[in-house]
Amino acid sequence: MTLQANAMGTPTRRLDGAPKVTGTAPYAYEQPVKNPVYVHAVQSGVARGTIRSIETVAAEAVDGVVAVLTHRNATRLADVGDDELAVLQSDSVAFRGQLIAAVLAETPEAARHAARLIQVTYDDEPADTELRADREDLHAPEGEDPPDDRSRDEFAAAFSSADVRVDQTYTTPMLHNNPMEPHTTVAVWDEESEVRLTMFDSTQGVHVVRSTLAPLFGLRPEQMRVVAPHVGGGFGSKGMPHAHNVLAGLAARAVPGRPVKYAVPRQQMYALTGHRSPTIQRIRLGAERDGRLAAISHDSVEHSSTVKEFAEECGKPTRSLYAGAHRLITQRLATLDVPVPSWMRAPGECPGAFALEVAMDELAEACGVDPIDLRIVNDPELDPKTGHPWSSRRLVECLQEGAERFGWAARDPEPGRRQTGGTLVGMGVAASTYPCFRSPGSVARIEVTDDGRYSVRIGAVDIGTGAWTALTQIAADALGCDMELVKLEIGDTDLPHATVAGGSSGLTSWGSAIVEAARILRHEHGASPRVGTTVEAETPDKPRGVAVHSFGAQFAEVHVDPDTGEIRVPRMLGVFAVGRVINAATARSQLIGGMTMGLSMALHEVGVMDHRTGHVVNHDLAEYHIVTNADVGDVEATWLDDVDPQANPMGSKGIGEIGIVGAPAAVANAVYNATGVRVRDLPITADLLLR
Amino acid sequence: MIPFDYRRAQDPADAVTAVAERPGAAFLAGGTNLVDHLKLGVTAPDLLVDVSRLPLDGVESLPGGGLRIGAAVRNSDLAAHPVVRERYPMLSRALLSGASGQLRNAATTAGNLLQRTRCVYFQDVTTPCNKRDPGSGCSAIGGYTRYHAILGASEHCIAVHPSDMAVAMRALDADVIVLSQDGERRVPLADLHRLPGDAPHRDTVLDHADLITAVELPALPMARRSTYRKVRDRASYAFALVSVAAALELDDGMVGDVRLALGGVAHKPWRASTAEEHLRGAPATVETFRRAADAELAAAQPQPGNEFKVRMARNTIVAVLRELAGAHGMGGEHR
Ligand SMILES: Cc1cc2nc3c(=O)[nH]c(=O)nc-3n(C[C@H](O)[C@H](O)[C@H](O)COP(=O)(O)OP(=O)(O)OC[C@H]3O[C@@H](n4cnc5c(N)ncnc54)[C@H](O)[C@@H]3O)c2cc1C
Ligand code: SF4
């Protein structure tokens, strides 16, 4: 049964808002610790090879240096089969920027200075870092079966006999998560204590940090504690521990009893904390003359690293978004000498929807139908991927309501014709979708405390999304009490296990556990349980036999200067169907944040890899451009009045990622409408539109 | 951080002496460029002589109509100065198009002129660079060239000078006043910055312990109708791909006089003298503007990866001249 909403649905202010804006909310690095040691890391200067020599004498001689760690003296770690985490364990170098040494010093300045004095020579080998679709070594990701010959043949037949065909290739560049708060860890190793290793970490999941790192250091889970008090964003890059976490542990191990503080410098994040792989995507759409899709194919190529495989699954949205009898989705990877790719907001869906949704715009033009109508005629009754019914699918309503609000009728379908004041004007639309994941294994504990309140404990993390507030609202409604009576504790492995804040799954996974615990409490102990009463419950299983997705429609208006090609986006609108919105204020922030990040991807962001060296050369925020305030016009997000009872007990679905899905395509389609220039390779920059 | 000494100069002469005495000394102004370089390891002075608080922060009208701008005037103060806004709007606009509000509040006139290139390889000590480490090679050639030169580069360096302010000052024929142990001298801004040639480590003609004390702008009535246009990869907080500073004087439909300088294209602010010659005395039409721009850019030698700058510069020159001509009542003729 869906929970009755009282606190839910209100735009309750962030509980952590005041401490954050007054600067009193302690982030991981700001944990008060006594007598800390500071860490500064050294990165490899070659992309592939072995370290021949590493000279640390000069660094060790710097005043204030406590220790220099290299592969020669760092603690041996247990092999857990994840080479990204095998930090300082061997002399081999697998990508440029890999951690190869670290200085521990009494001050950050001494550590940084000494790190620069470390002399390294390499036996370097030619590195291979360039992704191309014509490489001969492309291979399917581990564990994925490529489509069989029959489905290939059927697709080919359907495609070649289609009335209207689109066959184009789209690319997106290497992208970097760049959360506002860099990755930071404060770690203490204590031989005397039951808990050997304590970490204050800027992470999206305390339990995953512990379960990953404890075995490396030969610890049982109880011997390690991870705390994530406040987190300044992650966008996936803090969803699993990366090499820097291991380095923090190694450093702590080297100076038992002394806290070590490690903040990854912004410049080093580009190689160390994950990135989105560049993608090359071929889309083929075969349709009847009215736009009805008969054949859809999405072939994508991404890079992965020799250290660890990660696949950016671009085909995901194409499996479910539109009807069409014949569907062919393939993915191939090139394993290159590059930093380890990882999750970045809507991995797969985001770049995948860029390609698919620009191709749909091209198809609409080829068929002479409105892009909105094209999406309406191809709205599938059942999920094409699973054949299951949708829990709810209101994409068409999102498109229609958005068109109305945005003034879509004013769009001239003929590109390059509308001008105001000498500026080219265009509009674009794209669909958004994201699955509603529920991760198993979170546990919520509710205890009745002697002040007559409810202590709600779960090891979830609020990475700035507003989860703290929204979970409190959910708990209040689940318990049928005022929010003031709920005391929520999160962000600590001392609390019951919780899954990672990722895949837009947080509220569904953690909230469902809280609702279940509250249900048991009321069921077993009534309306006024005794002080000390404690119940625990795990996230119930996800619903079966039903496809649960969020949907949305995104609109963009683009202005292009005909002389310089400069692009401005005065307004964007997203209309979403995301189930019940638990907190209107924080939800809006998530949605417009995603849309803004999508705008940034459309027009600005590109990690420039110099293939001669495997180095991301524009590795700071002056050179790696992210939208500034001046680039962001009126970005509005709104949603349908929606409750999806099948999604979870709150009737809500995830909202953290859907905002970025579709936004880049809406902008790209608007650029085409404004100029008549179809740019299929992101980012779309002024030079590409010059005449 | 490498330990260094810090000293606040008492007066300009004291600053010059202090720096002259130590080969490893450097002047420190707003620090928005120099301090970054200390952190990045691009430079490692052993003494910083702080000149930001010297009484060089005045903006004074000169007899004859010119303007003297103190070396320590903050970029934001200069941009907002009523005389600058009225008589030299291109300078005000150039300043406001640079960096961010916070940076402009700290950055000074002299520091802005002497800021170093933003070439990513120059700023990254793990990559070879002739400018930072003479003889080590130029990583930009054959690498990431989007922000690099199309005019006046050499096989040793293809970097651009990143300042917006300097482009406007170049168009305005500014002079730089320099104090050294030998006394004061006047260096035309035209001669201050060098082309890289075979010595790209030298950005300017200044010697160690040459202190800039002021910049002087000549009286230039035509500059009242002038502008600065910066084309960049995002709306703020980005360096120019191409920029144009221009002033235009019309005389009965003909170009009476013109000043034109380009940014983002060369190792120094680039005065478009060839274009100016084509323009003077010619009919003020888009056709003329195009021909003038093409004449200037005929010498362009773009790198693979920045070929677009030639067309971008051309279009921007034409657009700016058209706009200025339009302001003279010639608006009808649009493209
Ligand atoms: C992220 C970022 C973005 C930026 N974007 C732009 C932009 O878009 N456009 C733009 O034009 N600029 C931009 N800037 C650069 C900025 O304008 C310069 O950093 C600033 O103008 C330098 O002035 P300063 O006073 O801080 O110089 P400092 O950093 O103090 O000094 C710079 C150099 O000048 C020397 N120096 C200083 N004063 C004197 C003097 N009186 N005599 C002799 N030598 C002296 C110093 O020794 C040093 O070598 C940007 C900077 C940053 C960090
Ligand atoms: S262009 Fe100049 S500054 Fe850049 S790498 Fe080459 S030599 Fe160095």
- Nearest ligand 2 atom, CA B148: 1
Residue B329 has pLDDT above 70, yes or no: no
Asked if the structure places residue B303 within a domain, the reply is yes
Query: Which residues of chain A make contact with B311, given a CB cutoff of 8 A?
Result: 690
Residue-range domain boundaries for chain A: 17-26+439-538, 31-126+180-233+239-272, 149-175+276-436+546-690
pLDDT tops 50 at residue A486:
yes
pLDDT band (50, 70, 90) for residue A144: confident
What ipTM describes this predicted complex? Answer: 0.96
Check whether domain A31-126+180-233+239-272 has CATH 1.10.10.10, yes or no: no
**Tokens in use for A654?**
């995830």
Q: Which residues of B touch A (CB under 8 A)?
A: 1-2, 39, 41, 118, 120-121, 124-127, 139, 142-144, 231-238, 241, 308-309, 311-312, 315-316, 318-319, 334-335
Mean pLDDT on B246-266: 97
Torsions phi, psi for B292 (to 5 deg): -65, -45
Give A176→chain B minimum CA distance, Å.
Answer: 17
Q: What is the share, in percent, of chain A residues with pLDDT greater than 70?
A: 100
Q: Model confidence at B1, in pLDDT bands (50, 70, 90)?
A: low
pLDDT for the residue numbered B332: 40
Instruction: Give CA–CA dist A59/A101, Å, rounded.
Output: 11
In degrees, to the nearest 5, what angle opens at C-alpha A264 toward C-alphas A263 and A267? 140
B311 Cα: distance to centroid of ligand 1 (angstroms): 29
B267 inside domain: yes
Domain A149-175+276-436+546-690 has CATH 3.40.190.10: no
Q: Are B116 and B98 in contact (CB under 8 A)?
A: no
Which residue is associated with the tokens 């581990």?
A142
The CA distances from residue A179 to A534, A688, B55, in Å, are: 37, 29, 42
CB nearest B144 (choices: A563, A617, A630): A617
Taking CA–CA distances from B232, the nearest residue in chain A reads A566
Q: Residue A270 and residue A624: Cα distance in Å, rounded?
A: 10
A621 vs chain B: nearest CA distance in angstroms?
10
Minimum CA–CA partner of B2 in chain A = A113
Residue pair A492/A475 in contact by the 8 Å Cβ criterion: no
Residue A517's pLDDT is 98
CB contact under 8 A, B234 and A563: no
Nearest by CB: A618 against B120, B126, B241: B120
Q: Return the residue matching tokens 């229609």.
A: A400
pLDDT reading at A606 higher than 90: yes
pLDDT (average), residues A265-294: 98
CB B193 within 8 A of CB B203: yes
With CA atoms as reference, report the closest residue to A359 among A349, A371, A368: A371
Question: Which residue has its alpha carbon closest to ligand 1 atom 37?
Answer: B111
Interface test with A, best of B1, B33, B160 (most A CBs within 10 A): B1
Nearest by CB to residue A45, choosing from B126, B231, B232, is B126
Q: Name beta bridge partners: A168.
A: A283
Whether the predicted pLDDT of B248 surpasses 60? yes
Nearest to B311 among A604, A617, A690 (CB): A690
Residue range B309-328, pLDDT digits in tens: 999 999 999 999 999 999 76
**Strand arrangement of the beta sheet that strand A549-560 belongs to:** A419-420, A423-435, A549-560, A567-577, A634-639
- Are A686 and B241 an interchain contact pair (Cβ–Cβ within 8 Å)? yes
> CA-CA distance, B133 to A119, in Å (whole number)?
17
Residue B328: alpha-carbon gap to chain centroid: 27
Residue among B274, B279, B235 nearest B254 (CA): B279
Q: Could you say which of 3.40.50.1100, 1.10.260.40, 3.40.190.10, 3.30.365.10 is the CATH number of the domain covering A17-26+439-538? A: 3.30.365.10
* Closest CA in chain B for residue A628: B236
User: What's the per-residue H, E or C state across A46-79?
Assistant: CCCEEEEEEECHHHHCCCCEEEEEECCCCCCCCC
pTM of the prediction? 0.97
Contact: A631, B236; criterion CB under 8 Å: yes
- B295: domain CATH number is 3.30.390.50
Contact between A573 and A405 under an 8 Å Cβ cutoff? The reply is: yes
Q: What is the pLDDT of residue B141?
A: 98
Does residue B182 belong to any structural domain of this protein? no
| A to B CB pairs, distance under 8 Å | 82
**What is the 3-class SS of B196-207, one letter each residue?**
CCCCCCCCECCC
Instruction: State both tokens at B115.
Output: 């800021």
Strands (E), A337-493: 419-420, 423-435, 443-448, 454-457, 486-489
Of A533, A558, A514, A582, nearest to A665 by C-alpha is A558
Q: A628 vs B311: CB contact, 8 Å cut-off?
A: no
CB spacing of B335 vs A562 below 8 angstroms: yes
CA A81 vs. chain centroid, Å, equals: 24
| B94 Cα: distance to centroid of ligand 1 (angstroms) | 14
- DSSP 8-state assignment for residue A565: -
**In angstroms, what is the span from residue A583 Cα to ligand 1's centroid?**
45
Give the rounded percent of residues in chain A with a pLDDT score beyond 90: 98
Query: Of A430-439, B191-200, B326-335, which gets the smallest average pLDDT?
Result: B326-335
List ligand 1's pocket residues with C-beta within 6 A.
A 622; B 26-34, 36, 51, 71, 75, 98-99, 103, 106-108, 110-112, 114-115, 162-165, 211-212, 239
Of A39, A174, A45, nearest in space to A98 by CA = A45
Name the DSSP letter for residue A527. Answer: S
Domain contains B106: no
Kindly give the distance from the C-alpha atom of residue A543 to the centroid of ligand 1, in angstroms, as a whole number: 60
Ligand 1 mean position, distance from CA A588 (Å) = 39
In a domain, B107, yes or no: no
Q: Is B162 in the pocket of ligand 2 (CB under 6 A)?
A: no
B29 SS3 class = coil
Tokens 């500026």 locate to: A423
Please say if the pLDDT value at position B333 is more than 70: no
The closest CB to that of A628, out of B124, B143, B235, belongs to: B235
Counting the structural domains of chain B, the total is 2
- d(CA A110, nearest CA chain B) in Å: 6
> What does the pLDDT read at residue B327?
72
Rounded to an integer, what distance in angstroms lies between the CA atom of residue A364 and that of residue A413?
Answer: 10
- Estimate the share of chain A in helix, then strand, then coil, as percent rounded to the nearest 5: 30, 25, 45
Ligand 2 pocket, residue B42 CB under 6 Å = no
DSSP string across B179-196: EETTEEEEEEHHHHBPP-
DSSP element (H, E) containing A250: helix A243-254
In sequence order, which ranges of chain B are alpha helices (DSSP H)?
12-21, 34-40, 75-80, 82-87, 89-96, 101-106, 109-114, 165-171, 189-192, 273-279, 286-297, 308-325
A302 is catalytic: no
CATH of the domain at B23: 3.30.43
What whole-number distance in Å separates Cα of residue B253 and Cα of residue A371? 48
Q: Which of B33, B73, B104 to mutate to test the pocket of ligand 1 (most atoms within 8 A of CB)?
A: B33
A623/B308 touch (CB, cutoff 8 Å), yes or no: no
Q: Whose alpha carbon is nearest atom 1 of ligand 1?
A: A622
Q: Are A480 and A522 in contact (CB under 8 A)?
A: yes
For residue A426, the one-letter residue type is: G
Task: Kindly write down the DSSP assignment for every residue of A588-644, as one continuous string.
Answer: HHHHHHHHHHHHHHHHT----EETTTTEES--STTTS----GGG--EEEEEE-----
* pLDDT mean over A379-397: 97
Do residues B30 and B114 lie in contact, with contact meaning Cβ atoms separated by under 8 Å?
A: no
Separation in Å, CA of B2 to nearest CA in chain A: 6
Range of the domain at B19: 5-48
Give the C-alpha separation, A656 to A641, whole Å.
18
SS3 B285: coil
Torsions phi, psi for A112 (to 5 deg) = -65, -45
Helix (H) or strand (E) holding A679: none
Ligand 2 neighbourhood includes B43 CB (under 6 angstroms): no
* SS3 at position B211: strand
Best of B121, B231, B333 to disrupt the A interface by mutation (most A CBs within 10 Å)?
Answer: B231
- Cα A282 to Cα A258, A680, B278: the distances in Å are 53, 11, 49
Residues 6+ apart with CB under 8 A from A74: A87, A88, A89, A250, A254
B67 in any annotated domain: no
| Res A408 pLDDT > 70 | yes
The answer on pLDDT for A363 being more than 90 is yes
Using CA atoms, how far apart are residues A39 and A111, in angstroms rounded to an integer? 6
Which residue on chain B is closest to A612 by alpha carbon? B143
A620 CA to chain B: closest CA distance, Å? 10
- Cα(A510)–Cα(A609) distance, integer angstroms: 39
Strand partners, B204: B193
- Residues A501/A205, Cβ–Cβ less than 8 Å: yes
Distance B31 CA to ligand 1 centre (A): 7
Query: Mean pLDDT over all residues of chain A?
Result: 97
Residues in chain A closer than 8 A to B143 (CB atoms) = 610, 612, 617
Q: Which ligand is nearest to the CA of B117?
A: 2
pLDDT tens-digit map of A239-270: 999 999 999 999 999 999 999 999 999 999 99
Closest chain A residue to B238, measured at CA: A622
Specify the amino acid at residue A652.
Answer: S
Picking from A532, A460, A446, the residue whose alpha carbon sits closest to that of residue A493 is: A460
Neighbours of B76 (CB within 10 A): 18
Domain A31-126+180-233+239-272 in the same topology as domain A17-26+439-538 = no
- Whose structure tokens read 């606190």? A7
Amino acid at A51: I
CB atoms B235 and A568 under 8 Å: yes
Model confidence at B334, in pLDDT bands (50, 70, 90)? Answer: very low
